[in-house]
Structure 1
Amino acid sequence: MTSVKISDRLTVASQPTLDAIPALADNGFAAVLNNRPGGEERDQPDSAGEKAAVERAGLVYGFVPVTGATITEADVRAFQRFVAAAPGPVYAHCRSGTRSTTLHVIGEVLDGRMKADEVEAFGRARGFDLSGAVRWLARHAAQSPRVTGFHDPRTGSMQYVVADPATKQCAIIDPVYDFDEKSGATGTAHADELLAYVAREGLSVAWILDTHPHADHFSAAHYLKQKTGAPTAIGAHVVDVQRLWQGFYNWPELKTDGSQWDRLFADGDSFAIGGLTGRVMFSPGHTLASVTYLIGDAAFVHDTIFMPDSGTARADFPGGSADALWSSISAILALPDETRLFTGHDYEPGGRAAKWESTVGEQKRANPHLAGMTRERFIALREARDRTLPMPKLILHALQVNIRGGRLPEPEANGKRYLKFPLDVLEGATW
């Protein structure tokens, strides 16, 4: 294996053998960061095997797998976070060291410590061709809107700030209001992180958008409206979800006209974020009310399509339909191949760092639920898998908040708020 010292903190290298890993600890390294997806070569160690060898050697292991064509800012930031948090020098590797170096230099340019026109010379001086990093930076500079993702590891949820660089207006999509089902505690740490980012970047909030009434976290839409004054919106079919769950909760006083939001979007509706125009695509299947927001070259596909290594969303919630989900996915995959897709959740399969951005082309090539799939096979696959899945642990807590636009229950006479929890209303739930 070959290695190149980038700084006292970071060395980049080619793939080490498992037998060579103990020597890394002897040479002063504290952590190993694997930037290589599994299966690139027949004799390549898999991530689980490498992790075990690294930890036996007393080192910290990280996994941020990338290919040159699919690097996203989430990968770059995950690389940076691991290096910064490691207890000492990091040995980052891919097959040759080029991808690890690419992740490093992109982060340096994004953070202003290096100029884009310095990248190729930096690579040549260290034996790497970084022309791919140069192309990535050029594409990134031209992208509109600018999308920043915020991952909540407790629920796997993704929140987004979507900004028009020219006008500094933005939309917040799928914000999370913190809730701990064990203690009943609520909080606004994740929503406040969004507000701090908006203030730091000098943005003004034009919209607060939910893609659907979520079943695994509370929406912070109402809280953020109180803080910013921005209008809230969701798909118009939320009224169907309200009527459905009104019965489950035996809640006759619930308003089922969608009046808890400032605007209900129908299929094909548009809205403005500064100089950008967003378009609404009705995308049912995961829920009755799910929509996709298409803004510039970015589509926010909520829980319809996950990252390519994670397949697609379940369709067994009340009102869900695998057949409708296939139609919604087909409409999304009809967008241009270079369209950026931003998913609603990531559960870090295989221990990799969280990811949330792909493209239409990548999904068609690499998602096993979609590549070469037919409607009939997809429905059979989706329904069989859904029969094995337990219900989200917060579904009965979250829906009564989220079908009211993120409003918590009103305080009772003692000043406390109470959730109403129905028993035995979800048939066929897997324990």
Structure 2
Amino acid sequence: MSIVVVSEKLSVAPQPGIDEIRALSGKGFKALINNRPDSEDAAQPGTRAEAQAAKAAGLSYSFIPVKPDNITEADVRAFQHALDAADGPVLAHCQSGKRALSLYLIGEVLDGRMAADAVAEFGRSRGFDTGLAAAWLQKHGAQKPQVKGFFDKRTWSVQYVVSDPATGKCAIIDPVLDFDEKSGQTATINADAILAYISQNNLTVEWILDTHPHADHFSAAQYLKEKTGAQTAIGEHVVAVQALWKGIYNWPELAVDGSQWDRLFARGDRFKLGSIDAHVLFSPGHTLASVTYVIGDAAFVHDTLFMPDSGTARADFPGGDAGILWQSIQEILALPDETRIFTGHDYQPDDRAPRWESTVAQQKASNPHIAGVSEAAFVDLRTKRDKTLPMPKLILHALQVNIRGGRLPEPEANGKRYLKFPLDALQGAAWQ
């Protein structure tokens, strides 16, 4: 194994064998980063074997698999996080070391520590062709809109700031209000991180967009509206979700006209984010009200499609339907192949780093719930799988907040707010 020193902390290498991984601690390494997707060839050990060998050698281990044509900023940031978290020298590998080096170089340029035109010479001096990093940086700079994802580990949710580089206008999509169900405490950690990013980049919030009323986290839409003054929006079929849950909560005073948002979008509605054209797809199946926001070349698909290695969303919530979800997915996949797909959750299969960006082409080629699958097979797969899934732990907590646009219950006479929790409201769900 040929090891190339990249920085004081980072070295890169081609695929190591298991015995070579076990010997890394003797060479002074403290961490191993694997940037190679499993099953690229039959000879590679795979992430589970590498993780076991790293643990036996006393190394920390990170799995950040990328292919040359699907590196995303999330991968770059995950690579940086793994490098920063290590308590000593790090070895990163892929098949040849090129992808590992590219992740490092892209991050250096994005953070202003290296000029883009210095990337080629940096690679040449170490025996690498850095064309992959250079091409990524050129493409990234030309993308409209710019998209920044914020991953919430507690709920596996991805929140977005979507911005127009020409005007500095931005939209916040599906923000999370922090909630600890054990103590009943709420916080604005996620929302404040979004606001800090917006301030640091001199952006102006034009929209706060919900894709649907979420079942697994509270929405921070109302908090962010109070902080920014931006208009809030959701799909017009939220009124059907409100009516459904009004009955479940026995909540006669709940307004079920969508008036908790500033705008209700219908299928096909068009709007602007700064100078960028945007439109709305109605994408039910996961919920009655789900919509997809297509902003420039980016589609925010909420809980319809997950990353290609993770399949699709469940369709067994009240008002859900697997057949309707299939039709919604087909409409999304009819977008141009190069359309960037941004999903609402990532559950990190094989303990890989969180990812949330793919393309229509990648989804069609490698999502196992879609590629080569008929509608009948999808419905059968989705129905059988959903029967095994417990309900999200926050569904009964969150819906009463989220069908009101992220508004918490009003304080009672003692100044405290109280959630209403119906018993036996969701019969038939799997127990955990």
- Length-normalised TM-score, structure 1: 0.99
Which residue does the alignment assign to 2:79?
A: 79
Please give the secondary structure, in 2, of the residue aligned with 1:84.
Answer: helix
User: In structure 1, what is the equivalent of residue 113 of structure 2?
Assistant: 113
How far apart are the structure 2 equivalents of 1:189 and 1:115? Answer: 33
Deviation per CA, 1:293-337: give whole Å up to 9, x if none.
000000000010000000000000000011110010000000111
**1:32-431 maps to which residues of 2 (within 5 A)?**
32-431=32-431
5+ residue gaps, structure 2:
none
Between stretches 110-119 and 84-93, larger displacement belongs to 110-119
The residue identity in structure 1 corresponding to 2:75 is D
Cα drift, residue 22 of structure 1? 2.6
Q: Which of structure 1's runs of 4+ aligned residues deviate more than 4 A?
A: none
One-letter code of the match for 2:375? R
CA distance in 2, matches of 1:199, 1:122: 33
Gaps of 5+ in 1: none
Distance 2:276 2:269 in 1: 14
C-alpha distance after superposition, 1:270-291 (max 9, x if no partner): 2221111210110000000000
Tell me which amino acid in the other structure corresponds to 2:297: D
**Distance across 2 between alignment mates of 1:312 and 1:353:** 19
- State the distance in 2 between where 1:249 and 1:370 align: 36
Q: Which deviations, in whole Å up to 9, do the C-alpha atoms of 1:363-419 show, x marking residues without a partner? A: 001100010111111111111111110000000000000000000000011110000
Q: Deviations over 1:244-289 (max 9, x none)?
A: 0000000000000000000000001122211112101100000000
| 2:168 partner amino acid | K
Offset, 1:133: 1.4
Q: Indicate the larger mover: 163-172 or 111-120.
A: 111-120
Q: Which region of structure 1 is more displaced relative to structure 2, 294-303 or 267-276? A: 267-276
Cα distance in 1 for residues equivalent to 2:124 and 2:189: 44
Post-superposition CA distance 1:66-91 (Å, at most 9, x none): 00011001001100111011111100
**Structure 2 CA distance, aligned partners of 1:2 and 1:381?**
45
Q: Deviations over 1:182-239 (max 9, x none)?
A: 1100000100000010000000100000000000000000000000010100000000
Quick one: distance in 2 between partners of 1:191 and 1:322?
32
Please provide the CA RMSD for this pair: 0.7
Residue by residue, what CA displacement relative to the aligned partner does 1:122-175 show, whole Å, maximum 9, x if unpaired?
212211121121111111011000000000000000000000001000000000
State the alpha-carbon separation in 1 of the partners of residues 303 and 217 from structure 2: 13
SS in 2 for 1:61: strand
SS in 2 for 1:244: helix
1:7 matched residue in structure 2 = 7
Equivalent AA in structure 1 for residue 160 of structure 2: Y
Partner Cα separation in structure 1 for residue 366 and residue 2 of structure 2: 30
* d(CA) in 2 for partners of 1:409, 1:36: 47
d(CA) in 2 for partners of 1:65, 1:203: 32
Q: TM-score scaled by structure 2?
A: 0.99
Instruction: Measure the CA separation in 2 of the matches of 1:26 and 1:376.
Output: 55
Separation in 2, partners of 1:216, 1:112: 36
